[in-house]
A and B are shown apart, each in its own frame.
Chain A
Amino acid sequence: MIDSKEIEKAIFETARELEDTAAQAAFLDQACNGQPAMRSRLGKLLALQSRAEEFFRVRPLDALTGGENGGSEPAEAAGIREEAGELVESVETVIGNYRLVKRLGEGGCGVVYQAEQQKPVRRLVALKIIRLGMDTETVIARFKAERQALAMMDHPNIAHVLDAGATASGRPYFVMELVQGVKITDYCNENNLDIPRRLRLFIQVCHAIQHAHQKGVIHRDIKPSNILVTMHDGMPMPKVIDFGIAKATEGRLTDNSLYTACDQFIGTPAYMSPEQANFSGLDVDTRSDIYSLGVLLYELLTGQTPFDSKELVRGGMDQMRRTLLEREPRPPSTLLTAMGNTKLTTVAAQHHAEAPRLISTLRGDLDWVVMKALEKDRARRYETANGLGMDVERYLNDEPVVARPPSRLYRLHKLIRRNRAVSISILAVSAALVIGLGTSTWFFFQERRYFLEAEQGRANEVLLRQQAETQAQVAQAAMLVGHNQFDMADQVVLHLPRPGGAMGGEGVLRPLGDRAAVQGRWHQAAQYFSLLNQVDQTETWDVGTLDDTRYAVSLLETGDRDGYERFRQSAITHISNTTDPVVAERTV
């Protein structure tokens, strides 16, 4: 038995297909023969159709995300049709002098179309118009602010604003040059650009951002998809597009609407600066863009962002914030060193270089420049985008760069700040230990000489570099340990270059000394710290006390009396040589 409802639907659907009203009526008469109620009902329904279409033609979802006052206007009927069930501007729509060709994308409060300018010249442009259903006061103001900000800029590497206006119904729009190009990262990889070429593109981007900053505009969403490379006179030219969520620093955009608030947050996780992720209400300033530039540079050099996007998002918001705010990313050269072979080969090919060559190119100056831009503490980053650009230029000209690896003192300072309780107790132990037994320093220096002599075959430079590297990595490992990131710390340690390999035979570092010590594996702790100490010895002793005291403790525990005595004597020797009050204070 067939549902009468189903029958009704079937008739409706069929009648609907008929274009001619007369034919429709005739069909209905036929189909509903003997059922006047149904005939009448169907007649009404069919008549209602167009009004029904109209009635349902609103997108409450858009109104929802448009701000507090969303949905205050009925949906614009003209120029809209359903395409694949979605509301889109009809491509026949003409807005001002521009005829819409196709939809390019959307972002923020606007939608971007490719359009054809009709007069005074015919050309293709990009037209950005405020979204349907979003024409509320606050959103319009914001859109206009963006328009204004863009119009103020005049730089070859920033997409130009050509025109601005509003539709008959008051929807604001603006027209920009159409940038047809590829993402900067894709461009570099597809063309296997080597490092210098990539850097030159990057410098141009820095100049563009600098220009924007000078005009009082923070981009806030710098990422590869917002920087397209086009060819201009045969030369690749990067262009920054989409200042969609840029906010003019002047002017009072005091929206407290949800939309703005979430806009602030919805950046791209991998490119978000720590302060952006923190949403502590801290005003994000131009240095946030510099962080993002750092991430871009990082990706241009290694093919990856410092933190993986997927990973960041996977852990949830809290985890993501913590990562961005606290976890130190690996310097580019370290990342590549730790990379799997196949991946490394691909990356190297994209950089038109051999893998070892690539790594050694990145090591040193370039590492430092990138890391300086990525500093968590924004006061330590480059102050201006130009500053970053110029340092890169200096590198290209073989001039010394401003960026420097953080000093041991600084690293230790950070480590101590995070582990106050532990530091204090360690210092107490250290004090107790120094008051100890006498011994000779001879063994120590003997060892050291042997160590250096054994390296005569190798270039001294390489050695020192490696040692510096080791220090950096060891400190990093220590910091990771401070965060209970033992696995990561292990990873770092496993890739430590071994200075000379003259470490008494085994030379393979097992889990960190700290952890080992904590777990009572004093022998391993001693081994680990022995390495640490060797590295310490090659530089002047400032405040390496933290490491050394643990070494001392571990030595004691293993019953390595000799080792301990050696250490102690060396400590005394060094201390008496120092004039640094900080050191004195720490050891007393």
Chain B
Amino acid sequence: MLLNAVAQGQHCASEELLPLVYDELRHLAAARLAGDEAGETLQPTALVHEAWLRLVKEGDRTWNNRAHFFRAAAQAMRRILVDRARHKLSLKCGQGGVKVPLEDVDVAALMVDDRVLLIDQCLDRLEKEDPDSAKVITLKFFGGLTNREVAGVLEITERSVERRWAYAKACLLQMIQEEK
């Protein structure tokens, strides 16, 4: 268990720590990057601190490069979320689960984990065709960033983020539906 590992002084992979502290980490990052020393008053838990340290390389701890941080974090979260979803689904269906063809399933009835996996699959394809949209999806869906934060990362207006996000979602869903 994570806690015992920590107690024994083992180093936890950031993959394990990150999801637990992600929200806090984001707020912390946002506050810090806004040049806001109030980031200190957030009193992050030790877990957050650890995750922070691991995510951030030694020299980069000042994180002037907000875009870099958020992008890296979002990518990391994507990996983690997809792994978890896969793991959970494999537990549910057992190994070699029956793959239900998509036409038979109403997309709206899909569970979160299924959605995560589908999105992830098609995202790779989207990245080739339309990297901008793929970026938005990674940041918004996997990274959980607000429109404002995404605007900062991509250096566009919030309004643009909203529009691109809408477009990206539609595109991706269409891809998913086209998948056989």
Contact = CB atoms under 8 A, between A and B. Distances in A.
Given A61-B23, A85-B148, A266-B45, A49 B107 contact: no
Contacts of A464: none
Contacts of B88: 68-69, 71
A269 B113 contact: no
B72 interface: no
Interface string A40-58: 0000111011011111101
A45 B1 contact: no
A71 B108 contact: no
Nearest to B129: A5
A256 interface: yes
Nearest to A54: B108
Interface in A28-75: 44-46, 48-49, 51-56, 58-61, 63-65, 68-75
B136 to A, nearest CB: 11
Interface stretch (A314-322, A415-423, A557-565): A314-322
A317 B47 CA distance: 8
Given A75-B112, A316-B50, A85 B146 contact: yes
A389 interface: no
B58 to A, nearest CB: 14
A60 B9 CA distance: 29
A310 B40 contact: yes
A586 interface: no
A317 B112 contact: no
A313 B170 contact: no
Contacts of B169: 49, 52-53, 55-56
Nearest to B151: A85
A12 B167 contact: yes
Interface in B76-125: 77, 80-81, 84-85, 88, 107-113, 115-116, 119
Q: Which of B49, B112, B113 has the most CB of A within 10 A?
A: B112
Which applies to chain B's interface (DSSP): helix, strand, loop or mixed?
helix
B147 A85 contact: yes
Interface string B146-170: 1111100000000001011011011
A144 to B, nearest CB: 23
Contacts of B174: 44-45, 48
B77 A61 contact: yes
A52 B172 contact: yes
B43 A266 contact: no
A77 to B, nearest CB: 9
Given A51-B173, A85-B145, A85-B147, A262 B43 contact: no
Contacts of A281: 4, 7
Which applies to chain A's interface (DSSP): helix, strand, loop or mixed?
helix
Contacts of A46: 170
A279 interface: yes
Given A61-B77, A65-B19, A318-B9, A258 B2 contact: yes
Contacts of A513: none
Contacts, number: 156
Contacts of B109: 74
Contact of B53 (A265, A280, A316): A316
Interface in B16-45: 19-20, 22-23, 40, 43-45
A13 B49 contact: no
A68 B91 CA distance: 11
Q: Which of A85, A256, A261, A266 has the most CB of B within 10 A?
A: A85
Q: Which of A44, A71, A84 has the most CB of B within 10 A?
A: A71
Contacts of A318: 9
Contacts of A197: none
A508 B84 CA distance: 63
A337 interface: no
A317 B170 contact: no
B6 A317 contact: yes
A74 B113 CA distance: 9
Contacts of A69: 88
Contact of B2 (A68, A261, A270): A261
Contacts of A270: 43
Contact of A313 (B6, B7, B43): B43
B163 A65 contact: no
A85 B115 contact: no
A268 interface: yes
A15 to B, nearest CB: 11
Contacts of B80: 64
Task: Report the 10 A-B pairs with minimum CB-CB distance, sorted nearest first.
Answer: A71-B112, A85-B146, A52-B169, A85-B147, A45-B170, A52-B173, A261-B3, A13-B163, A52-B170, A58-B112
11 contacts: A12-B170, A48-B170, A56-B119, A65-B22, A74-B109, A74-B111, A262-B20, A265-B45, A265-B47, A270-B43, A280-B7
Interface of A: 5, 9, 12-13, 16, 44-46, 48-49, 51-56, 58-61, 63-65, 68-75, 84-86, 133, 256, 258, 261-262, 264-266, 268-270, 278-281, 309-310, 312-314, 316-318, 320
